[in-house]
Structure formats: structure tokens, C-alpha cells
């Protein structure tokens, strides 16, 4: 087999990251985009972990039919039954069973002996197998598991019906050549290893997740678990785009392929960043804002003469729009529609009209409307579709002699205009306090950040807000050329999500 199976766990491990909180509609949007991207397997969630996760997996199963949809389960009957319940309608279902295998985990976490775990792993894989053929098994903390025991647990679970065995470097502890030797040892010492696809799942605690995954591929691994933008627990997982583009760019060395349509990479990265609120660092490989920017004069001169001199990847390969055409005040519906299509959006007529209105308003304030501006407009319009409260008006006064004061008018769910005002330590504080007086939901502000999405003094400001209530985090975003209005929009967006979750629509 000369193809590497791409197993995406953005919706499971990625969503597990601190501060991540996607609602069901956002999970579905990401799953649909992953399908366009061409991933082979989507790990859609951990169905027993919450009713919300269960519902999201069930919905994805109905709407996303091409990839294998995988549900995660610990090695116990309840988890496995619940995972099957969520994915049983899938066109291609997979149950992923995991159990700890390292002595550190067995002693401190599971409080079970090696023999007990061995028995349990075999039994639970067999139980999953009674539901469906496609079963993946993972010995958690494999890279710190005693080798003889690791070989044994893999043999037992393959015998019980596992068709994929996944070797996780759960804590991101492995070093490439060492991890490669571990994989090599598995191929040499597990007698029935040819009956399963061998997979890896690497974490990035030492910044080595991609390197370890690729070393494993060199040793014969044919499934890699990864996430968009490398998001995930702690320092994150191996990044899908880096793995795929390394295999492609260094095809001379790897001689392998994937099913990924690389032209969807940029779009997928933007969508995941937008919906999770985890921004991509500028110098991130492949998808960072600076990944294809050349500053040095020598480099610029080289790239103009012949891109290959300093560019190992053509930006078009990952779907960065080729033209740098900017729209403006005189651009019409047709031009905007074309640009949206090039950026990968397909909006219905109603949504398009809303975006077009917003575009015209922005073009009046800003001379040049760039792709990033358009992405921001679409995101802003999508956020306001199912609002509980809507920002109608905001007026703020501030300065070092006055007391920051905000007055706010919100439109309530039943269409009433509700007004209130508050003082604060600054304009944002005063605005949030005035909103709180109207909405009246206690919460703690956990994160507030603001950034300019393009260059220039007339740029759109994008605000990200995370609030906590009952130990759950809700992310809100807002965009506007006025940063105080953007802040108010982001806060209301987070509150609306909190209220929607309370109504059970998370």
C-alpha cells in the first residue's frame, strides 16, 4: 500500500483543547469541510463524554457520507455501546477503543494489573466488533509502555478483531529516531501485525509531533492521526497540513500519496481557526500569515524572477487565492459573488444579500476590501443569524478626564428594544457592564483579545471573548471597524451561545 490514511481528530482531540467550545452547527460545518478536504477518517467526537458530543456525532453521521466516521470509547461496555449508538447510521462507521497500557498509567490511573488490562482490551475490542467490522484500538501512553507488554496487547486486540492499531505518543515524550525504533519493533515482534493498519497519534509537547509521525511513516505506518492547525490537548497534535505537505513536497523521498485535496487546506485552516477561536501563529508552517511572505530583498528578487528559488510550495497548491484583486466601493454583486466562490463560500441568496449589504457599508469606510475583510464579513453575518440578543445601538464616552460611560440598546428575543447604561474602568468594561444589566446572566470573563485583520488605520478590528459559566467556556467573536462595537458584538455573541446552550441547543 502506497497511500497514507489521514485520520483527522480536530473535532475530538482538537475540540478537547483548553478553551475550545464548538456548538453542534460549527462541528457540522467543520466536518463538511473536512470531507471536501478529502480526509479518510473523521473522529467526530467522544459520544459518552456529553449529550452535546453525542448529538454532534449523530448529526455528522447523517450529513457527511464519504469519509469513515469514528466515535471514541474507553474500554468499557457503556462507552462502546454509546459510541455505536451515535455512529450506527454512518455510511462507514468505526469504533475507536482505547485503554492505558503504560505502568505509570496502570498504577496511578487505572489501578489495574497488566493481566486485567490485557483481558479487558481483548474483550472490549470483541464487543465493538460485534457491532461493526471497522475497529481501531489504541494503547494509551504507548511510547512509555514496556515493549514486551505493548507487543502482547497489540497481538491480543488484533486477534479480537481490531483492524487498525494506533500507537499514541500521548504525552509528547518521544524523539523521532527512538519513536521510529518503537514502530520498527512492533512490525518485527507482533506476529499478526500484517492483519491491521498501523497508525500513530503524536502530541507536540516537545514540538516533535510532525517529525515523530513522519518517522513512523518511514517505518511503515500507514495511518496518521492529526488535526487542522495542529490544535489539541496541551501543546496540540501533529498538524495535518504539515504532514500532508511534507509527504507531497518530498515525494522524492517518501514515495507515498494521500487522498487530500491540498487546495482545500487554506480554507479549512481558516474555518477551524475562525470557529474555534484558536488563531494561527504568523510563522506557522504552511498556513501562517507569513508562510509565503518574502521580506529580504534578495529573496524577493529571486521569487519575482523564478518562484522556485525561495519557495518550495506554490501557494496555489494549498488554495491561497491566486489573484490579489481587491474589491472596493464600485464593485458590484457579481464581483463579490465571484470572489466569495474563489474563497470557497457557497452562500444562499438570503445570506449573500446580507453579506453584500455589509460589504457596501464597509467599502464606504474603507478604500480597499481584501479577502480577509470578506472572510470577516461572512463570519460576522453567520454569527448574527440565530442570535438571542442583537446589538442595536452603542454609545461610549471615555478619556482621561471623564468617567468611561456606555449606553446600550439591545433587541430582545421578542423584538423589544431594551436600553441601559453603566460606568466602567474603561470603555469596554462600561460596555460589558451595560450589556450585563440587560442580559443578566452571571459569568466570568476569561479572555479578551483584539487584533487588526489587515494592515492600515481603517482595518477591521476582530475581538475574541471567552466567558465562563458553570465551568463551561463560551467563545464569542465580533468584527467591526470600530473596536468598541466589535467588543460589544463579541461579548453578545458569547452570551448568545451561553443562552442557546442553556436552552439545550448547544
Which of positions 396-435 make contact with Mn ion (CB under 5 A)?
none
Which of positions 60-119 make contact with Mn ion (CB under 5 A)?
none
Least distance (Å) between residue 12 CB and Mn ion: 8
Kindly report the backbone phi and psi dihedral angles of residue 115, in degrees, each rounded to the nearest multiple of 5, phi listed first: -65, -45
| Alpha-carbon distance values, 297 to 69, 166, 293 (Å) | 48, 46, 12
From the list 10-18, 190-198, 380-388, 397-405, the region that binds Mn ion by CB under 5 A is 10-18
Exposed (0-12), middle (13-18) or buried (19+): which is 41, by Cβ within 10 Å? buried
**C-alpha to C-alpha distance for 320 and 506, rounded to whole angstroms:** 32
Among residues 8 and 13, whose Cβ is nearest to Mn ion? 13
From the list 7-15, 49-57, 126-134, 320-328, the region that binds Mn ion by CB under 5 A is 7-15
Least distance (Å) between residue 221 CB and Mn ion: 16
Least distance (Å) between residue 95 CB and Mn ion: 17
* Chain position whose Cβ is nearest to Mn ion: 13
Q: Is 166 helix (H, G, I), strand (E, B) or coil?
A: strand
Which residues on adjacent β-strands are paired with residue 165? 137, 198
Other beta carbons within 10 angstroms of residue 309's beta carbon come to 13
Number of H helices, E strands in the chain: 17, 14
Crossing angle for the helix pair 77-87 and 51-63, to the nearest 10 degrees: 40
From the list 13-21, 132-140, 254-262, 367-375, the region that binds Mn ion by CB under 5 A is 13-21
**Count of residues in contact with Mn ion, rule CB under 5 A:** 1
- Using CB under 5 A as the binding rule, whether residue 13 contacts Mn ion is answered as yes
Taking the alpha carbons at both ends of the chain, their separation in whole angstroms is 41
Least distance (Å) between residue 83 CB and Mn ion: 17
From the list 12-20, 70-78, 156-164, 405-413, the region that binds Mn ion by CB under 5 A is 12-20
Q: Is 86 helix (H, G, I), strand (E, B) or coil?
A: helix
Among residues 13 and 480, whose Cβ is nearest to Mn ion? 13
Among residues 13 and 375, whose Cβ is nearest to Mn ion? 13
DSSP class of residue 30? H
**C-alpha to C-alpha distance for 420 and 391, rounded to whole angstroms:** 12
Least distance (Å) between residue 206 CB and Mn ion: 15
Which of positions 187-226 make contact with Mn ion (CB under 5 A)?
none
Least distance (Å) between residue 437 CB and Mn ion: 42
Least distance (Å) between residue 9 CB and Mn ion: 7
From the list 11-19, 29-37, 260-268, 313-321, the region that binds Mn ion by CB under 5 A is 11-19
- Using CB under 5 A as the binding rule, whether residue 8 contacts Mn ion is answered as no
Judge contact between 89 and 63, C-beta under 8 A: no
Binding site for Mn ion (CB under 5 A): 13
Amino acid at each position: 500500500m502506497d497511500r497514507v490514511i489521514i485520520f483527522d481528530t480536530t473535532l475530538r482531540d482538537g475540540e478537547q483543547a483548553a478553551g475550545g467550545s464548538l456548538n453542534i452547527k460549527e462541528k457540522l460545518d467543520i466536518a463538511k469541510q473536512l470531507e471536501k478536504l478529502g480526509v479518510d477518517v473523521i473522529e467526530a467526537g467522544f459520544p459518552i463524554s456529553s449529550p452535546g458530543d453525542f448529538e454532534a456525532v449523530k448529526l455528522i453521521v447523517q450529513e457527511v457520507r464519504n469519509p469513515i466516521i469514528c466515535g471514541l470509547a474507553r474500554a468499557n461496555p457503556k462507552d462502546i455501546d454509546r459510541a455505536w449508538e451515535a455512529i450506527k447510521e454512518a455510511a462507514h462507521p468505526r469504533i475507536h477503543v482505547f485503554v492505558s497500557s503504560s505502568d505509570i498509567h496502570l498504577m496511578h490511573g487505572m489501578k489495574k494489573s497488566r493481566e486485567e488490562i490485557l483481558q479487558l482490551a481483548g474483550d472490549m475490542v470483541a464487543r465493538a466488533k460485534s457491532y461493526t467490522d471497522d475497529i481501531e484500538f489504541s494503547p494509551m501512553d504507548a511510547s512509555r509502555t514496556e515493549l514486551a507488554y505493548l507487543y502482547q496487547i497489540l497481538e491480543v486486540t488484533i486477534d479480537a478483531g481490531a483492524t487498525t492499531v494506533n500507537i499514541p505518543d500521548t504525552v509528547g515524550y518521544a524523539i523521532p529516531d527512538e519513536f521510529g525504533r518503537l514502530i520498527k519493533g512492533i512490525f518485527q515482534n507482533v506476529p499478526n501485525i500484517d492483519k491491521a493498519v498501523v497508525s500513530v497519534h503524536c502530541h507536540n509537547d516537545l514540538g516533535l509531533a510532525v517529525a515523530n509521525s513522519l518517522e513512523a511513516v518511514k517505518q511503515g505506518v500507514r495511518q496518521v492521526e492529526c488535526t487542522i492547525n495542529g490544535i489539541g490537548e496541551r501543546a496540540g497534535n501533529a498538524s495535518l497540513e504539515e504532514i500532508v505537505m511534507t509527504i507531497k513536497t518530498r515525494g522524492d523521498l517518501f514515495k507515498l500519496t494521500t487522498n487530500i485535496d491540498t487546495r482545500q487546506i487554506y480554507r479549512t485552516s481558516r474555518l477551524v481557526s475562525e470557529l474555534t477561536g484558536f488563531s494561527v501563529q504568523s510563522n506557522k508552517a504552511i498556513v501562517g500569515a507569513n508562510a509565503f511572505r518574502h521580506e529580504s530583498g534578495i529573496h524577493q528578487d529571486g521569487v519575482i524572477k523564478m518562484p522556485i528559488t525561495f519557495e518550495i510550495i506554490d501557494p496555489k497548491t494549498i488554495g491561497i487565492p491566486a489573484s490579489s484583486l481587491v474589491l472596493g466601493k464600485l464593485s458590484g454583486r457579481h464581483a463579490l459573488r465571484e470572489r466569495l466562490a474563489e474563497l470557497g463560500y457557497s452562500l444562499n441568496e438570503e445570506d449573500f444579500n446580507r453579506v453584500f449589504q455589509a460589504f457596501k457599508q464597509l467599502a464606504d469606510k474603507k478604500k480597499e476590501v481584501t479577502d480577509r475583510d470578506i472572510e470577516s464579513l461572512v463570519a460576522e453575518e453567520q454569527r448574527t443569524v440565530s442570535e438571542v440578543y442583537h446589538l442595536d445601538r452603542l454609545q461610549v464616552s471615555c478619556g482621561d478626564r471623564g468617567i468611561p460611560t456606555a449606553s446600550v440598546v439591545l433587541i430582545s428575543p421578542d423584538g423589544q428594544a431594551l436600553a441601559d447604561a453603566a460606568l466602567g474602568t474603561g470603555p469596554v468594561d462600561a460596555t460589558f457592564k451595560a450589556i450585563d444589566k440587560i442580559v443578566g446572566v452571571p459569568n466570568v470573563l476569561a479572555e479578551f483579545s483584539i487584533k487588526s485583520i489587515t494592515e492600515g488605520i481603517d482595518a477591521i478590528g476582530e475581538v475574541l471573548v471567552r466567558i465562563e459559566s458553570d465551568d463551561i467556556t463560551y467563545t464569542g467573536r465580533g468584527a467591526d471597524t470600530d473596536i468598541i462595537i466589535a467588543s460589544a458584538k463579541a461579548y453578545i455573541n458569547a452570551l448568545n451561545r451561553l443562552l442557546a446552550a442553556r436552552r439545550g441547543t448547544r
